[in-house]
Every structure is written in C-alpha cells, then in structure tokens.
Amino acid sequence: MTPARNLSRRSVIVWGGAGAAAAATVALVGCSTGPRSGNAVANDTPTEIATLSDIPVGGSIVVMVNGKQIVLSQPESGTVKAFSAVCPHQGCIVAPKDKELNCPCHGSRFDASTGGVLEGPATSALPAVAVTVNGASVMSA
Ligand code: FES
C-alpha cells in the first residue's frame, strides 16, 4: 500500500501496482479547479500527482486527479506514461496487472506502456494524458 502523502489541494486515490489487486491512499485537501480540456488533468499550475517511487518499474498505478482516473506506468526507470483509465469500450475503469491494464467488465487488455489494445472487445487505445517528470515527481502538465 502506498503511504499517505500531502498532494497539495488535490483529492488523490492511488491503487494498483505490479500485480497488486488493491490498495488505497486518500489525501483530501481543499478544492480544485476543473481540467482545462481534452485529457489534460492539470489545473493552471502543474502539481505533483505521484512520485516515481509510487509507480513500480514495469508496472502501473491508477490515480484520481480532479475527478479523472489516470493510469501512470513506468516502463523504464524514470520514464512515465499516462493514460485515461476509462476503458474505451463501455467506460469501466481498467486495473493494473503487471505490464498490462485489464478491464474487469468485458476482458479488454491494454499495454501499460503504450495504452494500446492487446485484446478486445475494445478497439481503440487508452487516450494518452500529458504528464511530466520533474526529479522524482510526476507532475500534471
Ligand atoms: S468496458 Fe472495458 S471491455 Fe467493456
């Protein structure tokens, strides 16, 4: 389980990891402004949404930022990829499992490093979400 951290004025839930079924950390501090557009998860100011140590190398976690569930994967140490955690098939939330993201509703599987479909019924990839790595911090972009 990921330890609770102050993530500054964000409501954040973290779970998943390489094979982890569930864990939860909640930090609820204040309010936030809405996302800008598209798949952006950011407010006007980039904010830490995780640290590299929160994300297993070769695995992924799901975080909630501004009410949107986002997958953060770390295919190589220090490289973070981010995708919407909403399955493009019918909207269920995918779950990290090792190097994949599995949809519990109808069995679609996605590559956690690319968001690409490994197995349907989903026919489109998980949409990419912009994040940046600043030192050990994963920041909304
Ligand atoms: S909602 Fe994900 S496979 Fe159907």
Dihedrals φ, ψ of 53, to 5°? Answer: -70, -15
Whether 28 is covered by a domain: the verdict is yes
Contact 128, 115 (CB under 8 A): yes
pLDDT of residue 44: 63
4 located within any domain: no
What DSSP string describes the chain? Answer: -PPP---SS-EEEEEE-SS------EEE-S--PPP-STT----SS--EEEEGGGS-BT-EEEEEETTEEEEEEEEETTEEEEEE-B-TTT-PBPEEETTEEE-TTT--EEETTT--EEESS--SPPPB--EEEETTEEEE-
pLDDT at 2: 40
Query: Which residues constitute the domain of residue 112?
Result: 11-140
Distance 6 CA to ligand 1 centre (A): 33
**Residue 12: its pLDDT value, please?**
42
Residue 127 placed within a domain: yes
**Is 6 domain-assigned?**
no
Minimal-distance CA residue to ligand 1 atom 3? 106
Q: Is 86 a pocket residue for ligand 1 (Cβ < 6 Å)?
A: no
User: What is the pTM (predicted TM-score) of this model?
Assistant: 0.72
Q: Does a structural domain hold residue 107?
A: yes
Query: Is the C-beta atom of 118 inside 6 A of ligand 1?
Result: no
92 CB near ligand 1 (under 6 Å): yes
What is the model's pLDDT at position 28?
A: 27
Residues in the chain where the model's pLDDT stays below 70: 1-44
- Which tokens go with 17? 């990891």
Supply the CATH number for residue 47's domain: 2.102.10.10
Q: In this structure, which amino acid lies at residue 1?
A: M
Ligand 1: does its nearest atom lie under 6 Å from the Cβ of 129? Answer: no
Residue 72 within a domain: yes
- Find out whether the beta carbon of 105 lies less than 6 Å from any atom of ligand 1: yes
Q: What is the total count of domains within the chain?
A: 1
Give the dihedral sign, CA 60/139/141/43.
positive
Q: Report the separation in Å between the CA atom of 105 and the middle of ligand 1, taken as the mean of its atom positions.
A: 5
